[in-house]
């Protein structure tokens, strides 16, 4: 009995000891996991992660990788050769490559600062490059003979051989004589020359800044010589043959002309203008394709006029 009582006492002491001892480690761990489920802790972790990512991207944006390949160096050397007729020396090529690197760095820094924005020159250059790109993409295969024949017939007037006029002139300067005096002198000279049956008299007027005689002048050439909107240009092909005309005004002054001959306009043969027809066919096709592409692009934009 004494031994049993002692054992019971020991068991009671062990029980008391167990009650006063710390909780098992498993229970502590379970409590720790409950902290990880706290929203505030999630907020702190997510905020720290975002800060680190932002810092990394900010630091990464400070650097732009510029790759200089063998093709890049070859292109630099080729440009130098086109300009100077010879390849650069090794030291010159190294200097040119350094210059290329400098340009690339400045270019990227300018983009970061937005220097390309609201710049009319940059805008025009980009538009021009895009138009060139569109033209390159719109080049068609070689047109067939049937296509060229149809195009030629449709635009036959474009390829007509222009009419020409052969004539001599006498010029009267308004700078030297004044407007009214120059016209009166021209009219008087025309009467005298017609009365005398003279077909050529360059000495009868003032020096002209161009030829006195034209063996074959077309309408468009007349506009370049005498002015596009001048009376002489428009009336040149309507003057009588073999006599001096009434005074005609040009961009320079007054003229009288003696028409020797007229060669009328005549249609061209396809074989004689085939290459020109081919170029025009491709150009017109390219223009039509570009207009269609632009119409498709325009659908993606809302145009607002304020």
> Both tokens of residue 114?
């937005």
Decide: helix, strand or coil at residue 230.
coil
Q: How far is CA 59 from CA 22, 54, 56, 64, 101, in A?
A: 50, 9, 5, 11, 21
The answer to whether 173 and 262 have CB atoms below 8 angstroms apart is no
**Per-residue pLDDT tens over the stretch 118-132:** 888 888 888 888 877
CA distance linking residue 87 with residue 90, whole number of Å:
9
What sign does the dihedral 169-174-180-185 (CA atoms) show? Answer: negative
Judge if pTM exceeds 0.85: no
List the beta bridge partners of residue 172.
254
State the span(s) of the chain assigned CATH 3.10.50.40.
Answer: 161-263
pLDDT tens, position by position, 57-77? 555 555 567 888 999 999 999
Using CB atoms within 10 A of its CB, is residue 214 exposed (0-12), middle (13-18) or buried (19+)? buried
Is 161-263 a domain of CATH 3.10.50.40?
A: yes
131-135: long-range contacts (C-beta < 8 A, 24 or more apart)?
131/290, 134/290, 134/293, 135/286, 135/290
Q: Is residue 19 predicted with pLDDT exceeding 70?
A: no
* 158-217: pLDDT as tens digits: 999 899 999 999 999 999 999 999 999 999 999 999 999 999 998 899 999 889 999 999
């Amino acid at each position: 009995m004494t031994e049993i009582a002692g054992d019971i006492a020991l068991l009671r002491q062990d029980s008391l000891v167990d009650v006063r001892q710390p909780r098992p480690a498993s229970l502590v761990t379970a409590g720790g996991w409950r902290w990880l489920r706290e929203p505030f802790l999630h907020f702190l972790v997510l905020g720290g992660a975002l800060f680190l990512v932002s810092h990394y991207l900010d630091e990464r944006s400070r650097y732009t990788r510029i790759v200089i390949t063998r093709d890049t160096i070859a292109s630099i050397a080729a440009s130098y050769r086109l300009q100077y007729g010879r390849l650069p020396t090794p030291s010159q090529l190294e200097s040119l490559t350094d210059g290329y690197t400098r340009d690339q760095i400045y270019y990227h820094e300018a983009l970061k600062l937005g220097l390309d924005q609201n710049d009319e020159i940059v805008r025009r250059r980009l538009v021009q490059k895009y138009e060139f790109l569109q033209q390159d993409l719109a080049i068609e295969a070689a047109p067939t003979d049937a296509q060229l024949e149809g195009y030629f017939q449709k635009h036959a007037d474009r390829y007509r051989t222009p009419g020409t006029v052969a004539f001599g002139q006498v010029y009267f300067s308004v700078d030297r004589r004044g407007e009214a005096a120059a016209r009166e002198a021209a009219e008087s000279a025309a009467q005298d020359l017609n009365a005398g049956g003279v077909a050529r008299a360059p000495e009868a007027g003032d020096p002209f800044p161009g030829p006195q005689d034209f063996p074959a002048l077309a309408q468009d050439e007349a506009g370049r010589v005498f002015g596009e909107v001048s009376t002489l240009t428009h009336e040149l092909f309507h003057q009588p043959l073999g006599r001096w005309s009434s005074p005609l005004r040009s961009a320079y002054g007054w003229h009288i002309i003696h028409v020797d001959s007229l060669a009328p306009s005549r249609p061209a043969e396809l074989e004689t203008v085939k290459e020109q027809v081919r170029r025009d066919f491709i150009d017109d096709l390219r223009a039509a394709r570009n207009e269609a592409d632009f119409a498709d692009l325009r659908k993606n934009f809302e145009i607002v006029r304020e």
